[in-house]
Amino acid sequence: MFFQILLLQGILLKDVVMVAPPSLFDTFKSYFSADLNKQISTKGNIDPDFQNSDSDSDWLINNYANFFKSDVNQKGNQASINKISEIQKYGTTRHIKEIFLGRCYEYQYKNGVLEENEWNCENLWNLFFKAFGFKKPCDVTSADYKELLDNIDERIPRDKALLWSGTRELAHKYSDFLYTKRFTTLEDTLAGYLLNGLTWCGSDQPPGINFNQCPWECSIQAPYWSLANQRFAQKLSGVIHIVLNGTRQHYTDKKLYPAYMKHRYYLGPYMIPEFNKRNITMVVIIVAHTLHLKPIESCGQKTVQMLADDIKAKDIPVVCYDDPSVVKHILCVDDPMSLECMQISRGARL
């Protein structure tokens, strides 16, 4: 049962970093200082067995410190960006209406939705366009998407919800929703399926959509995804599995990030607060580690423990597992010759 749901979530931003209150930074600093004190004998030296990044002497603490220090001010539950070193431009996905409508019909076909229960795809598009169309890219709020999400509300099967943070690819390989519907991620519901991987933003000029550029901080559509994740979390029941990335690094610059980000992206700010002890019987945290890399965080450590504490504070039981076999086997499909995979797959010579 405890392998049923993987919780992995988040898009790593290269230039825009939202920061938690100073008190939380101090908490994180204390978590990591204990480990660093054991590893650092003199400034500039870290045990090579502990290191898995080409960084300098302050490898771990600097990376985590940089995550929590930025030009972002916290205002209640919202973050306002004061400074962005460089505006990266991403235009709305070409043919977004056609993609939206196609996915709407495809989702209903694949899931065997009866004709009398079908969603009106044109109506859903109109609600979506109404939320952001003819508006400046950063003027859209979560409230603008409420009507759309009210119209595509779905039940999440008990014990089947799969949440993820920092391990998008692994989560969806594990859910196998297309063929076996083993588990259900947000992206496997209509709310996620319609818009997964797309970029969009409005314009106050016709046609009301900006296909040329969307400011980076507004192109990730946080107002939509924050509300969609919140709604998803409100419907969870039974055993919930959370899979985190215990070797979380930026893909290109190798900067380190916490496995659990309490005040950033969606898991911490929007999902955990919605966990209801009347509906959720247990939460299983699974910490997955990238092959070839030394673990940065594991069960009972640092932010993984912080997540467990946040859940237990809601009177919900928590257990945690590092790299269970089901996760390792999925990773080994893509890298069967790695040392870790050779150790668990010793075939007989015929």
Tell me the whole-structure pTM to 2 decimals: 0.74
Using one digit for the tens of pLDDT, what is the confidence trace for 145-188?
999 999 998 999 999 999 999 888 888 887 777 777 788 999 99
Query: Above 80 in pLDDT, residue 276?
Result: yes
pLDDT band at 341 (very low <50, low <70, confident <90, very high): confident
Tell me which range, 42-46, 59-63, 263-267, 272-276, is most confidently predicted by mean pLDDT. 272-276
- Mark out the alpha helices in the chain (DSSP H runs): 22-39, 59-68, 96-110, 121-132, 146-150, 168-175, 190-193, 216-219, 222-234, 302-312, 325-334, 339-344
Query: Above 70 in pLDDT, residue 132?
Result: yes
- Mark out the alpha helices in 160-199 (DSSP H runs): 168-175, 190-193
Res 146: pLDDT? 97
User: Which residues does residue 284 pair with via DSSP β-bridges, in sequence order?
Assistant: 241, 319
Q: Which tokens sit at 99?
A: 């993609």
16, 217 Cβ separation under 8 angstroms: yes
Q: Which tokens sit at 247?
A: 């070797």
Tell me which range, 50-54, 55-59, 226-230, is most confidently predicted by mean pLDDT. 226-230
For all residues of the chain together, what is the average pLDDT?
A: 77
- Of residues 60 and 143, the one with the higher pLDDT is 143
Domains defined for the chain, CATH in brackets: 91-154+189-220 (1.20.82.10), 156-185+236-349 (3.40.50.720)
What span, in angstroms and rounded, lies between the C-alpha atoms of 261 and 272? Answer: 11
